[in-house]
Amino acid sequence: MITQKIFNDTETAFKLKSDDELNRALLMFGMINRPSLVKIGTYLTKISLKLHLPVEGLIKATIFNQFSGGESMEDCLPNIEKMYTKKLHSILDYSVEGKEEEEQFDAAMKKKISIIEFAANRKELPFAVFKPTGIGRFAIWEKVSSKLTLTAAEEEEWKRVQSRVEQICEAAYQNDISVLADGEETWMQDASDELMVRMMQKYNQEKTIVFNTLQCYRWDRMEYLQNLHEKAKKEGFKVGAKIVRGAYMEKENERAKKMGYPSPICESKEATDVSFNGVLSYCLSNIDDISLFVGTHNEVSNYLALQILEDKGLAIDDSRVWFSQLYGMSDNISYNLARKGYNAAKLVPFGPVRDVVPYLIRRAQENTSVKGQTGRELSLLMEERKRRKGEDTSKRSNESSSQKDQPKHHAE
Ligand SMILES: Cc1cc2nc3c(=O)[nH]c(=O)nc-3n(C[C@H](O)[C@H](O)[C@H](O)COP(=O)(O)OP(=O)(O)OC[C@H]3O[C@@H](n4cnc5c(N)ncnc54)[C@H](O)[C@@H]3O)c2cc1C
């Protein structure tokens, strides 16, 4: 039985943080904990960047350093190597968003391939990741998802998008790196789901190279997974399932309400938890067919996965099961999993400060809106600070008592 609460071990969680870094993280989460401050900060950041005011230094010293690995792959390397000394892997995520031009999509694809090649000979980097709308216009994904007829120009554009996805998966396959496709808004997701299944059919014959994301805040994901599993068994390919709860809940609910269709999102947080844990259990029960990448900061779901691994007699480092948290969050989960020997990886976003801002804003807003998450981060950081102070005090008192015990001529 997994009874020991391994995620409470703050010494392991923050071993790599100096006292100064610990205090900085406390300050950061203290600020994020205040929704009004996040609202004002978001507004000022957007305006300042639009007006080209010199705020990049300030962003870099605060939220960028907390949630991002650096501006380039090379910038991230010292952190990646440091984390790996604690057996924690990394996944480099070039988090530039909101581009609309074909040249930018080609450049983004090349960047993804260069990350795959960079990762190829580094055991610290077992995965690569891409966001479908980072390599093709949102509107084209949306139109293909809606099954409307494409114009001739759109047909050409869609071919280019598919080719970019294929080139990324091919590079991953050639370099033996697994690749994760992010999940996004439901109204563009069908096209991505269909394409990623085609990639699994092609590249997941012997092992799982391609993973698609299942956002379990959607009430239809269990059915989707079961159908995909059936298809995979029939056709003889492996399923790669990256499971998360989902990051676009407010947007999804608002759109459904405005357009008058039933929301694709579960009716409550509890229903999302049931959906996530159900999908998690299904994958682990079918591990010979489905490789699982668990992306969550939820401790209950992580403990559940550990329990199922144990109950099923699976090795804790079974290569088909990975755990992941975002850089700068839930270090208590990542480092403790890694220390115990589970396969754990941090998703490390990077890119030029100005381009990573949308990602950073999402993290800040998420930490403000995700009930309890920031509170948990703060209490863990405070606990660690207290633990270190206690350690200092007892060290000092040990030193002074051992000095008292010294023979007189030594003490003098
Ligand atoms: C490694 C990694 C990769 C990720 N990749 C993606 C991705 O590709 N696509 C993506 O969309 N997200 C992604 N995320 C973000 C993820 O979807 C969640 O937003 C985030 O992790 C918070 O969920 P949780 O399970 O960690 O924590 P929890 O705090 O347990 O769950 C919070 C989540 O529960 C859901 N929720 C909250 N309130 C309600 C409610 N009232 N009704 C229904 N559901 C509710 C929401 O999804 C919310 O984000 C990723 C996260 C990680 C760690």
**pLDDT band, residue 356 (cuts 50/70/90):** confident
Residue with CA at minimum distance from ligand 1 atom 38: 269
Q: Please report the atom of ligand 1 found closest to the CA of residue 248.
A: 11
Is it the case that residue 80 has pLDDT exceeding 90?
yes
Give 100: exposed, middle or buried? Use CB within 10 Å, 0-12, 13-18, 19+.
exposed
Is it the case that residue 44 has pLDDT exceeding 60?
yes
pLDDT for the residue 404: 61
From the CA atom positions of the chain, what is the Rg in Å?
23
Q: Please report the atom of ligand 1 found closest to the CA of residue 268.
A: 42
Spacing, Cα 386 to ligand 1 middle (Å): 30
Q: Which residues pair with 93 in a beta bridge?
A: 349
- Between 363 and 314, the more confident residue is 314
pLDDT for the residue 372: 65
CA distance 151 to 401: 83
Percent of the chain with pLDDT over 70: 95
Residue with CA at minimum distance from ligand 1 atom 16: 246
Q: Is the CB of 95 under 6 A from ligand 1?
A: no
Q: Is the CB of 368 under 6 A from ligand 1?
A: no
Q: Please report the atom of ligand 1 found closest to the CA of residue 213.
A: 8
Mean pLDDT of 111-132: 96
Q: Is the CB of 347 under 6 A from ligand 1?
A: yes
Q: Is the CB of 186 under 6 A from ligand 1?
A: no
List the end-to-end C-alpha distance of the chain, in Å, as a whole number.
55
Mutate to test the pocket of ligand 1, among 92, 129, 131, 245 (most ligand atoms within 8 A of CB): 245
Q: Is the CB of 196 under 6 A from ligand 1?
A: no
Q: Is the CB of 212 under 6 A from ligand 1?
A: no
Q: HSE of 23 in the Cβ direction (CA atoms, 13 Å)?
A: 5
Is it the case that residue 294 has pLDDT exceeding 90?
yes
Spacing, Cα 251 to ligand 1 middle (Å): 13
- CA–CA distances in Å: residue 367 to residues 38, 312, 322, 362, 364: 10, 34, 23, 8, 5
Mean pLDDT of 169-190: 98
Mean pLDDT of 166-179: 98
What is the token pair recorded at 276? 């996530």
Is it the case that residue 412 has pLDDT exceeding 50?
no
Q: Please report the atom of ligand 1 found closest to the CA of residue 271.
A: 43
Lowest mean pLDDT among 47-61, 138-152, 161-175: 47-61
Q: Please report the atom of ligand 1 found closest to the CA of residue 276.
A: 25
State how beta strands 344-350 and 89-94 pair.
parallel
Residue with CA at minimum distance from ligand 1 atom 39: 269
What does the H/E/C string look like for 259-284? HCCCCCECCCHHHHHHHHHHHHHHHH
Q: Is the CB of 298 under 6 A from ligand 1?
A: yes
Mean pLDDT of 19-48: 83
Q: Is the CB of 265 under 6 A from ligand 1?
A: yes
DSSP 61: I
Write down the mean pLDDT value for the chain: 92
Spacing, Cα 368 to ligand 1 middle (Å): 13
Mean pLDDT of 346-360: 89
Spacing, Cα 70 to ligand 1 middle (Å): 24
Q: Which residues have CB under 8 Å from 409's CB, separation 6+? A: none
Spacing, Cα 16 to ligand 1 middle (Å): 26
CA distance 296 to 279: 13
38 in helix, strand or coil? helix
Q: Is the CB of 182 under 6 A from ligand 1?
A: yes
Spacing, Cα 325 to ligand 1 middle (Å): 11
pLDDT for the residue 30: 87
pLDDT for the residue 4: 73
Residue with CA at minimum distance from ligand 1 atom 9: 183
**pLDDT band, residue 410 (cuts 50/70/90):** very low
Under a CB-based contact definition with an 8 Å cutoff, are residues 239 and 285 in contact?
no
Helices (H), 9-137: 10-13, 19-32, 35-50, 56-59, 65-67, 73-84, 102-120
Mean pLDDT of 239-248: 96
Buried b (16+ CB within 10 A) or exposed e, 147-182: eeeeeeebeebbeebbebbebbbbbbbebebbbbbb
Is it the case that residue 408 has pLDDT exceeding 50?
no
Spacing, Cα 157 to ligand 1 middle (Å): 31
